[in-house]
């Protein structure tokens, strides 16, 4: 009996000891560490630390207090806990988070040391402490993002040693609030998102043709007039009519100076600098609509409701009045924004009016300027002198290189990395934002499954590849690279939820590209960690894109057997993809699906046995020409080769993404293909699949002609169709169907007559074809 009691006592003691010790309930393994951006070094220990409502946050300074408040804020919103923030002297023996200044650490660097008793964050700057806190947040269970008071969550983090510091000092996102206006509350949400990813620059594009968004006290009409346009939000961006007289301008908005102060202060509390952009000399219709005297010909214009190109109403570079105006505007702007950098735009100036303007021509003469490019350079240099006289640094888009770069200017390279390379070569600082890797207004998944975007294709994995230091840069040049940034132009982004969709998760990939040491980057590893970020986004109510889960199909031709092999894939590796053919039961996709006839494939991606993403549903249509090699009169362009020689007879169709690898194209030329069917075949229809996307100069053919032959020598026309050129605002796919009476033939010749020359200006245009179907 005594023995029994003894055992029982021992058991209770053990149990109590077990439940009071530093939480035995989770054993962390490497794969539980999902921090994005990936820290410099992580050493995982065993055991863990548990946060409680009674956990003390111990600080030595006001700066640390602010970081501690942010940490406490996470528990406040997830659990309604009020944690104690105390001064150093009151540090308890266990269950604390201490903030400790360590003088040897670089700006924004931090170290995190977690034991069973406490957490220590070492840093030497406000940013460092904040980033330490963000890392703790990402070590905590994802439910920390929840606002619904989750129950029974054990708030444990692993015992761990982390050393971390950013690779670049400029880790930015640009928001275009002109093309569409976004309220102050949303801007703050984006700032929260930036902070979560350890980003530190919000580039605020406050001025563009379609809206002036910042209150300037000296020039009230900038917002009274310039912030508003006629509401044509129901129409495609490029199909919005010019304002008619008497139409009310009701779409728009602007930030008051009080709003701006609030945004700037909120960002600063999260170690984010807000860099204002005041465009000049172009992209300023909104300002010219308010004050026509700022332009060369001084005619009254309206704020455009959508895309107009080119825009010739730019600031006059001849009148001193323009410069007085801009200096006065910038004085108010610099009072509101403490940032070192002032962005003056400088991009895409159509200088037509400068060529005929008396003031501009007089200026050129007096200043000894030979070209209008030099006049633009004069403009920017003059502004640079003003900005640097105020102790600030001018930054502008890479066009500011044209005609000679202003001495103290920093360049933001957007037309690829060329401008950045050139500027760095000349000893200027640069921020890399190449449109190849940083344009978040571009599509991020298969275009036929994505909401309308401006074009382009920038999937998550491509953002991940971004490196602001370009191959071929010398060490000296690389030192001039301040960092990188994504740009979210908003022509096609009318709502805040759509804006979130374009930002997340690509921001996570960008963050790792600009924060983590290059050697630490690993796409497979990132693909695992991003899943936890997805859950966090979801819990925060962020409408993030699940495009990386979208399925697409690739095909391979088996020439001998005339079969098509279909491979299903999505962007993330090792996915569980299941499919059915013509309604068969679902099966796991493991190897190419072999097709010999027209087949409908449905597929879904699974996560933990649950469907994720959208259903893929495609009918692969077989026809008489599948696998019969076309001979081209002129070969397709080397930039658009599709899948090669069999592209037009591979049964797979292209999407609206003209980079999807299914399109062959001809530039300024017609397409003429002859297909040997190998035997006499009954034919009554030929279909040519084409695309139109007038923005990137892709035009439908104007005529399709079909010729048949029984011997490959003598061809007779079987049919033709004509479809004259018409303006078309949206990208469109179309099957051109040529019907004719049933005919026996062994050879088919198809001519697609392209538009060849641009309908409105000089230059050749594209003809895009994805399949020739013979039936």
Which residues sit at the interface with ligand TNX, rule CB under 6 A? 347-348, 397, 414, 439, 441, 454, 489, 491
What is the spatial distance between Cα 435 and Cα 174, in angstroms, rounded to a whole number? 13
Would you mind telling me the total number of residues written for the chain in this entry?
Answer: 775
To the query of whether residue 637 is one of the catalytic residues in this protein, the response is: no
Nearest CA-CA partner of 454 in 642, 177, 731: 731
What is the spatial distance between Cα 23 and Cα 533, in angstroms, rounded to a whole number? 25
Residue among 138 and 285 whose Cβ is closer to ligand TNX: 285
Residue among 455 and 689 whose Cβ is closer to ligand TNX: 455
Q: Closest distance between ligand TNX and the C-beta of residue 182, in Å?
A: 15
Q: Find the catalytic residue in 259, 348, 631, 732.
A: 348
Between 184-196 and 126-139, two packed helices, what is the crossing angle to 10 degrees? 80
Residue among 442 and 749 whose Cβ is closer to ligand TNX: 442
Residue among 169 and 695 whose Cβ is closer to ligand TNX: 695
What is the spatial distance between Cα 672 and Cα 688, in angstroms, rounded to a whole number? 12
Task: Work out whether strand 110-114 and strand 630-632 pair parallel, antiparallel, or are unpaired.
Answer: unpaired
Q: Closest distance between ligand TNX and the C-beta of residue 491, in Å?
A: 6
E strand intervals along 148-272: 156-164, 170-176, 201-205, 207-208, 211-212, 228-229, 251-252
Task: Work out whether strand 576-581 and strand 587-588 pair parallel, antiparallel, or are unpaired.
Answer: antiparallel
In angstroms and rounded to an integer, the radius of gyration of the C-alpha atoms of the chain is 31
Residue among 110 and 492 whose Cβ is closer to ligand TNX: 492
Q: Closest distance between ligand TNX and the C-beta of residue 730, in Å?
A: 16
Main-chain phi, psi angles of 276, to 5 degrees: -80, 145
Neighbours of 471 (CB within 10 A): 6
Q: Closest distance between ligand TNX and the C-beta of residue 413, in Å?
A: 10
To the query of whether residue 335 is one of the catalytic residues in this protein, the response is: no
Q: Closest distance between ligand TNX and the C-beta of residue 513, in Å?
A: 19
Q: Closest distance between ligand TNX and the C-beta of residue 125, in Å?
A: 31
188: tokens are: 């703050």
H-type helices in 416-468, by residue range?
418-425, 460-465
Q: Which residues pair with 616 in a beta bridge?
A: 603
* Bond into 505 cis (ω within 30): yes
Residue among 175 and 514 whose Cβ is closer to ligand TNX: 175
**DSSP letters spanning 564-594:** EEEEEE-SSSS-EEEEEETTPPPEE--SPEE
Q: Which long-range CB contacts under 8 A does 555-563 form with residues at least 24 apart? A: 555/620, 555/643, 555/650, 555/651, 555/652, 556/592, 557/627, 557/643, 557/646, 557/650, 558/594, 558/627, 559/627, 559/646, 561/596, 562/596, 562/626, 562/627, 563/594, 563/595, 563/596
Tokens 């200096």 -> residue: 327
Q: Closest distance between ligand TNX and the C-beta of residue 274, in Å?
A: 18
Q: Closest distance between ligand TNX and the C-beta of residue 455, in Å?
A: 8
Put residue 622 in one of left, alpha, beta given phi > 0 → left and psi -120 to 50 → alpha.
beta
To the query of whether residue 208 is one of the catalytic residues in this protein, the response is: yes
Q: Closest distance between ligand TNX and the C-beta of residue 456, in Å?
A: 7
Q: Which residues pair with 745 in a beta bridge?
A: 681
Cα-to-chain-centroid distance, residue 362:
43
Residue among 174 and 195 whose Cβ is closer to ligand TNX: 174
Tokens 């569409």 -> residue: 180
Residue among 161 and 422 whose Cβ is closer to ligand TNX: 422
Residue among 696 and 759 whose Cβ is closer to ligand TNX: 696
**DSSP element (H, E) containing 331:** helix 320-336
Q: Closest distance between ligand TNX and the C-beta of residue 658, in Å?
A: 16
What is the spatial distance between Cα 246 and Cα 642, in angstroms, rounded to a whole number? 51
Q: Find the catalytic residue in 208, 384, 672, 770.
A: 208
Q: Closest distance between ligand TNX and the C-beta of residue 228, in Å?
A: 20
Q: Closest distance between ligand TNX and the C-beta of residue 431, in Å?
A: 12
Residue among 439 and 699 whose Cβ is closer to ligand TNX: 439
Contacts of 226 (CB under 8 A, 6+ apart): 211, 212, 286, 287, 289, 290, 303
Nearest CA-CA partner of 563 in 519, 532, 595, 534: 595
Main-chain phi, psi angles of 472, to 5 degrees: 95, -10
Neighbours of 574 (CB within 10 A): 7
Residue among 400 and 750 whose Cβ is closer to ligand TNX: 400
Residue among 379 and 397 whose Cβ is closer to ligand TNX: 397
Q: Closest distance between ligand TNX and the C-beta of residue 375, in Å?
A: 19
Q: Find the catalytic residue in 180, 283, 437, 623.
A: 283
Residue among 139 and 344 whose Cβ is closer to ligand TNX: 344
3-state SS assignment for residue 690 = strand
What is the spatial distance between Cα 314 and Cα 297, in angstroms, rounded to a whole number? 10
H-type helices in 80-125, by residue range?
none
505-537 in b/e form (b: 16+ CB < 10 A) is bbbbbbbbbbbbeeebbeeeebbebbbbbbebb
Catalytic residue annotation? 208, 283, 348
């Amino acid at each position: 009996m005594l023995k029994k009691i003894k055992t029982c006592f021992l058991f209770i003691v053990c149990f109590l000891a077990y439940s009071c010790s530093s939480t035995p309930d989770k054993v962390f393994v490497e794969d539980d560490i999902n921090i994005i951006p990936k820290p410099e070094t992580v050493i995982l220990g065993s055991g863990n630390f548990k946060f409680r409502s009674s956990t003390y946050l111990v600080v030595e300074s006001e700066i640390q207090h602010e970081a501690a408040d942010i940490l406490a804020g996470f528990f406040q919103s997830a659990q309604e806990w009020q944690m104690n923030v105390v001064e150093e002297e009151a540090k308890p023996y266990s269950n604390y988070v201490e903030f400790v200044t360590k003088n040897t650490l670089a700006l924004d660097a931090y170290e995190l040391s977690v034991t069973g008793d406490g957490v220590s964050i070492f840093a030497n700057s406000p940013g460092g402490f904040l980033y330490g806190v963000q890392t703790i947040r990402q070590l905590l269970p994802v439910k920390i993002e929840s606002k619904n008071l989750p129950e029974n969550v054990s708030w444990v983090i692993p015992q761990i040693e982390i050393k971390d510091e950013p690779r670049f000092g400029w880790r930015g996102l640009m928001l275009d609030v002109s093309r569409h206006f976004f309220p102050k509350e949303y801007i703050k949400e984006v700032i929260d998102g930036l902070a979560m990813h350890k980003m530190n620059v919000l580039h605020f594009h406050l001025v563009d043709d379609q809206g002036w968004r910042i209150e300037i006290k000296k020039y009230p009409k900038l917002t009274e007039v310039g912030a508003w346009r006629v509401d044509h939000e129901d129409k495609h961006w490029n199909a919005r009519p010019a304002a008619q007289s008497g139409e009310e301008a009701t779409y728009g908005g602007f930030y008051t100076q009080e709003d701006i102060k609030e945004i700037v202060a909120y960002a600063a509390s999260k170690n984010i600098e807000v860099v204002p952009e005041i465009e000049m000399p172009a992209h300023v219709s909104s300002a010219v609509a308010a004050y026509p005297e700022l332009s060369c010909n001084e005619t009254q214009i309206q704020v455009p409701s959508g895309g107009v190109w080119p825009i010739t109403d730019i600031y006059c570079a001849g009148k001193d009045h323009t410069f007085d105006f801009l200096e006065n505007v910038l004085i108010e702007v610099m009072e509101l924004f403490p940032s070192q950098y002032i962005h003056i735009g400088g991009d895409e100036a159509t200088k037509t009016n400068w060529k005929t303007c008396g003031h501009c021509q007089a200026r050129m003469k007096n200043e000894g300027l030979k070209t209008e490019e030099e006049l633009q350079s004069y403009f920017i240099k003059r502004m640079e002198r003003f900005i640097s006289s105020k102790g600030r640094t001018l930054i502008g888009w890479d066009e500011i290189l044209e005609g000679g770069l202003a001495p103290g200017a920093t360049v933001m390279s957007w037309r690829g990395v060329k401008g950045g390379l050139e500027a760095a070569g000349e000893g200027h600082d640069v921020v890399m934002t190449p449109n190849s890797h940083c344009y978040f207004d571009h599509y991020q998944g298969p275009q036929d499954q994505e909401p309308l975007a401006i074009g382009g294709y920038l999937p998550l994995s491509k953002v991940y590849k971004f490196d602001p230091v370009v191959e071929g840069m010398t060490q000296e040049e690389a030192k001039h690279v301040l960092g990188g940034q994504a740009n979210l132009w908003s022509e096609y982004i009318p709502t805040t939820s759509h804006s979130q969709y374009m930002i997340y998760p690509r921001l996570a990939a960008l963050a790792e590209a600009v924060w983590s040491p290059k050697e630490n980057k690993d796409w497979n590893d990132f693909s695992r960690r991003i899943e936890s970020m997805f859950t966090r986004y979801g819990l925060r109510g962020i409408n993030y894109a699940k495009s990386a889960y979208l399925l697409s199909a690739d095909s391979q031709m088996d020439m001998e057997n005339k079969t098509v092999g279909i491979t299903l894939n999505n962007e993330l590796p090792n996915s569980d993809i299941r499919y059915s053919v013509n309604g068969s039961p679902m099966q796991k996709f493991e190897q190419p699906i072999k097709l010999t006839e027209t087949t409908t494939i449905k597929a879904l991606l699974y996560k933990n046995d649950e469907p994720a993403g959208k259903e893929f549903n495609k009918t692969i249509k077989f026809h008489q020409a599948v696998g019969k090699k076309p001979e081209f009169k002129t070969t397709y362009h080397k930039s658009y080769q599709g899948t090669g020689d069999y592209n037009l007879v591979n049964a797979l169709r292209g999407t609206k993404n003209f980079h999807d690898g299914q399109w062959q194209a001809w530039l300024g030329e017609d397409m003429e293909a002859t297909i040997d069917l190998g035997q006499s075949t009954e034919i009554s229809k030929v279909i040519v699949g084409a695309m139109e996307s007038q923005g990137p100069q892709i035009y439908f053919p104007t005529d399709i002609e079909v010729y048949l032959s029984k011997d490959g020598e003598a061809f007779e026309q079987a049919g033709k169709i004509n479809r004259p050129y018409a303006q078309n605002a949206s990208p469109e796919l179309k099957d051109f169907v040529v019907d004719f009476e049933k005919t026996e033939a062994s050879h088919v010749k198809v001519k697609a007559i392209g538009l060849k020359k641009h309908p409105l200006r000089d230059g050749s245009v594209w003809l895009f074809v994805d399949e020739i179907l013979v039936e």
